[in-house]
Structure 1
Amino acid sequence: MRASLLNFIVCPQCAGPLDLKVSRIDDGDILDGLLRCDLCGNYPITDGVPRLLPAQGSVAAEARRTVDRFGAQWNDFDTIREHYEDQFLGWIRPNTRQSFAGKVVLEGGCGKGRHSALVAKYGAKEVIAIDLGSAVEAARRNTRHIHNVHVIQADLHHLPIRRQTIDIAFSVGVLHHTPTPRRAFDALAETVRPGGRMIVWVYGRENNGWIVHFVDPIRRRITSRLPHRWLFHASKIPASLVYGFARSLYGNGTSVHSSDAASRLYYGQYMRQLASFPFSEVHSIVHDHLTPAIAHYLPRREVESWFEGTHFKEVHVTWHNENSWAATGVRQEEAADRSPMTDQRAPRQAANGGKAAERAMETSDAESAPWLHDPQVHAVSPRVDPHVDTRLGAQAPAPDRHSERHSERHSERHLTP
């Protein structure tokens, strides 16, 4: 970490300010030291990573198991690949590379750090990459040469980040692995300044019925309980089947086999993408579906409802690869009687967080949202349909695949104020 991180972090238990004591530093990179809260105690910095973990026992056993298994996974599959950039840009649409230039960015659930590295490349001012498990070791290895990326070991449900100091918070493929995705979303949303943006990508329930009803029970009862090394090798079998099928039907994903007709098959867009990956990446993806103790497949209305109740406007939800939801929105100003510093030890944060607050205010709110006129993106209404069951995990009707298959490219609903 670097000293500039102090403008954005707080104690994960009381949200109070932290004092820094440096034990070892290399060219401005603080490798070892302590972050001290005068009420809650010390948090170590080891190998360049602040360990801002919540109180012992605050993470449920099932969540802890999920975190530990993903930590092992990302330390095994820690290679950064070229195709990650196109994949990431698809997950964050309609945001673009330019969306991150000059911004303070928070990634909730950074895994091996591949997306934070990309955001830094796009010109972000500061990038804060958070993960709860040992994946932070892989993220640190992959980003230690990037001076504006700070890797923190922390819990999304106890975020050690000052309220409303972040320009863009994003979470790709992580919220659906938390015990309560809505709560994790709300915690990230609280860090976003008015005029800032929130970006998420999650598994969709629509079109994934075969996973929900057949694969998920196997994951919950068997594969998520296998020792990591056993699953690492055992998952090569289904990975070989998926890889062989994708390659036989779509070639290398860009060849003549990869026709529009083939793409219209069930899971066609997704399988064509898999066909373009090396086997090791397909193995990683299959392993990713089999290892976690927690995985939620979320209906569209569930994802929309997150933004409706958390001060966001210009909300857009896109059906990605016919099996997942990409969503983004811009945070609105809060009511005049709600100051960003009215809760959680306000006087101390106001006194110690002035620089961070001033920096946030200096960022222009006048930037246009590039997706407003993009016909490829849905804009969602903030009105909640009382007849729609938005409970987590509620069975949603499968989409009309003939009409919704190309909705990402051909339909748009304007936001209703």
Structure 2
Amino acid sequence: MEPPIDEDITEWILEFILRATSDEALQKKLLYALSTSNSRFRSRLTKTMALRSIEYEIEDAFISERILECLEIVDEVDRLQGLSIMDSMKKAYCAVAVECTVKYLASSSNRDGKFLEAVKRIWRGRIGNLEKSKISNLLTEELIELREEIEKAVWDEGVCTTLLDRNTRNAALFSVRAYLEEAMPSMGPTILELGSKLMRTVGDEQLQHRVSEENIQEGGECVGDERAPAVKEKERTRSPEVRQALAALKASTLDLQTSVTDPLPEALRVAEVIALEMARKNGTGEVVDAEEGNTESGGAKEVGTAMPSSSHPNTSRQSLMERNSTARTYEWEDSIYDDDSTEGRSKCIRLSSPKKTVVSPLKKANVPKFVRKRKIKRWSLQEEEALRLGVEKYGVGSWKMILKSNPEAFDERTEVDLKDKWRNLTRYQR
């Protein structure tokens, strides 16, 4: 039974995949799997997951309340580690909270509907809990002032107009991007990258200790002894987390060396057996090699005995049918006409009989069924008004954003439907 993988090493690998690899599809699958699991992770991996989730949330220029949750997770991790909160993080939290509330004012003129629900959920619920805890660094004076302004918008029409005039969506996107550009580099390299650098440093240090006085020439200087104090000073300045990571890496390396067997000898034995079987099937092998060796040795003897005759003067042969004295014996015996001899049969190369190829019958082509057309749904006045408001806020061509911002108003509608409807509306207005 294989020993279980160490939890620390597992988290280091996951952190490396989420931060140091460029495969976005793999990162998204990994984020989904980790977010749906019930496992608890350490601070570095938790913060990495939260930052990557924020990055993929704003990938389509869409702001959601999931970003607020991720920012609160990062704030908790930094607070437990004793890290100070960034100003860009405070601004991003305020901007996202405002956008997640004001967007419902633009989609509906009824302030008692989704806008009021967002005020209760975000400002009275989420931000109210931050104020009660009195430990969160996200609670700033700017956030408190914005909460008072949002509360006034519930009953004051003028405040609603002021909020709608602001471009809260772009402000939130810019603030979140600015925070990510500052937060990602501040985490430093991953544990695996750091461990790799430390292992190279330890390797250089061991190489320096191997320098002995016998290898130093007279009048020379030992460079290794001069660099040793710098290496020792670097060891003293290492943080406890780095020392723990280095010790775990050394232990895991030793465990791998003791548990893993070298597959090369077994692979060579298998290859040797396969090569021998193939040689037997093809009619080659040691038997043929032995015959070739005997042939060469026999030929050498015969040539050796025939060599003296080459020193005598050449004499003309009496007849073409007369046997040549220098001819080899096996050339006459191994004749192609001697089919009855057993020795000739054993030396013949036998080819394997051809194998019949089974051809599968043709597969029947699957005739696709005709897809029925979608049922025609006429546009209502509420849908047309929501489309106009969406175009005013996001601009012509941003059909995907308009559809995502107000999915209930555009029920069973697609981006193509919005585009066609807007073209028809503008056509009749001309």
TM-score for the superposition, normalised by structure 2: 0.21
The answer to which structure, 1 or 2, has the higher relative contact order (CA under 8 A, 6+ apart) is 1
TM-score, reference length from structure 1: 0.21
